[in-house]
Amino acid sequence: VQILLKLWRNGFSLDDGELRSYSDPINAQFLESVKRGEIPVELQRLVHGGQVNLDMEDHQEQEYVKPRLRFKAFSGEGQKLGSLTPEIVSTPSSPEEEDKSILNAPVLIDDSRPATKIQIRLADGSRLIQRFNQTHRIKDIRDFIIQSRPAFATTDFVLVTTFPNRELTDESLTLQEADILNTVILQQLK
């Protein structure tokens, strides 16, 4: 274990920790062990009998200044809490596979009319991104999913918006009427 001992005018610190006063008997005993070339008992307990490398810096001409805390990015892992779609184990599609599905399932776009992009998160974990005209209907999204992934042709599913969750039951509505322009749509198996 690597430990840095900094000696200040008004005390000492370990590894940019809090200032420890020279007048405290426990701290005085700690420093006395260091002066004798021994590992202080506190550090022996810390490393459980392992090797300690104690470096020292002399700052005795300076007053202790509490160091700024370094920003530490989140290093944990995320957990998904619940899901609108049942968990289906499969490998998510690669961008190449998604491009193939778009080529295999064309949606006719009228470039003279306003368009939107819809991202569709499928129940198998993959996703599709497709351009639609704002006048396309929700049924066109369903048809696009079935053309892109024929396995869903025989599967009963609904389309749901993300938060706030709303099932898109009236498939005759245009994308604009359904207020789903440039959004993410979830496929939910029944």
Q: What is the pLDDT of residues 114-157, one digit of tens each?
A: 999 999 999 888 999 999 999 999 999 999 999 989 888 888 99
The helix/strand/coil state of 127 is: strand
Q: How do residues 38-62 score in pLDDT, each as one tens digit?
A: 888 888 887 777 788 888 899 999 9
The predicted structure's pLDDT at residue 48? 77
Q: What is the pLDDT of residue 15?
A: 87
The mean-pLDDT minimum among 2-6, 11-15, 105-109, 114-118 falls in 105-109
Q: What is the pLDDT of residues 80-123, one digit of tens each?
A: 665 554 444 444 555 555 454 444 557 889 989 999 999 999 98
120 has which bridge partners? 128, 185
Q: What is the pLDDT of residue 102?
A: 45
**Residue 109 forms part of a structural domain:** no
Q: Identify the pLDDT of residue 95.
A: 55
Is 13 strand, coil or helix?
Answer: strand
Q: Does some domain include residue 159?
A: yes
Under DSSP, is residue 59 helix (H, G, I), strand (E, B) or coil? strand
CATH number at residue 8: 3.30.420.210
Give counts: helices (H), strands (E), the chain. Answer: 4, 7
Residue 33, domain extent = 2-58
In-domain check, residue 185: yes
Choose one of 58, 73, 99: the last residue of a domain.
58
Q: What is the CATH number of the domain that holds 130?
A: 3.10.20.90
Mark which of 11, 29, 58 sits at the end of a domain: 58
Residue 13 falls inside a structural domain = yes
Number of domains composing the chain: 2
Amino acid, single-letter form, for residue 173: L
**Eight-class DSSP state of 154:** G
pLDDT at 159: 92
Q: Is the pLDDT of residue 68 over 50?
A: yes
CA triplet 44, 50, 54: central angle to 5 degrees?
65
**Tokens standing for residue 18:** 């809090």
Q: Is residue 83 part of a domain?
A: no
Q: Is residue 22 part of a domain?
A: yes
In a domain, residue 41? The reply is: yes
- Is 152 domain-assigned? yes
